[in-house]
Amino acid sequence: MIARYMHSEGRNIVVAVRDVKRQTNSYDCGVFALAFAYSLAAGQDPSQLTYINPRAHVEECLVSGTVSPFPSRVTHRSRDVIHSLNEEVYCFCRGIDNNTLMVMCDSCEQWFHKACVSVTKTELQGKWQCKECVKSA
């Protein structure tokens, strides 16, 4: 999804994962996901924030019918990367190999999810070209 959102055209995408403040219970992960998403959309770095009562804020937003920044304070945590993910991406959708049937274009040798391209069983038995290669032929 990140490769699709970022319009990545490369064959791989590398995602650096930083440490963030986590919930102290086992049921606020969705609330924290909302807080992180809002902060990212607002150009903030969630790894540098501590959210103040985010569950109450979500409830207030639902009652008022508005969305507003999550109350937070800046904390100076290490910005070190905990780990990074390096995923190969495929297809027009820029998705990963999700263990579904994939087909390879005989011209550019790129792989595509069968669900993302129109290809028949007969075409699978012969040579197949993706729509970009058909256009440039």
CATH of the domain at 110: 3.30.40.10
Domain final residue pick, 54, 79, 104: 79
Amino acid at 94: R
Q: What is the chain's pLDDT, residue by residue, as a tens digit (137 residues)? A: 676 666 677 788 777 787 888 888 989 999 999 999 999 999 998 988 999 999 999 999 999 999 999 999 998 766 677 788 888 888 888 888 889 889 999 999 999 999 899 887 777 777 888 888 988 87
Distance CA 129, CA 66 (A): 48
Strands (E), 33-131: 49-51, 72-74, 81-88, 102-104, 111-113
Domain final residue pick, 51, 79, 107: 79
Longest dimension (CA), the chain: 60
**Does residue 63 sit within a domain?**
yes
pLDDT at 17: 81
**Does residue 105 sit within a domain?**
yes
pTM of the model: 0.55
**Does residue 56 sit within a domain?**
yes
For residue 56, the cross-strand partners are none
Domain count, the chain: 2
**Does residue 86 sit within a domain?**
no
Residue 88: phi and psi, rounded to 5, are -85, 135
Yes or no: say if 17 and 81 are a contact pair by the CB < 8 Å rule. Answer: yes
- Exposure string for 84-97, b = 16+ CB within 10 A, e = fewer: eeeeebbbeebbee
**Does residue 12 sit within a domain?**
no
| Residue span of the structural domain in which 117 resides | 93-136
pLDDT at 79: 65
**Does residue 84 sit within a domain?**
no
Distance CA 118, CA 115 (A): 8
> Do residues 112 and 71 both lie within one domain?
no
pLDDT at 15: 78
> Do residues 69 and 104 both lie within one domain?
no
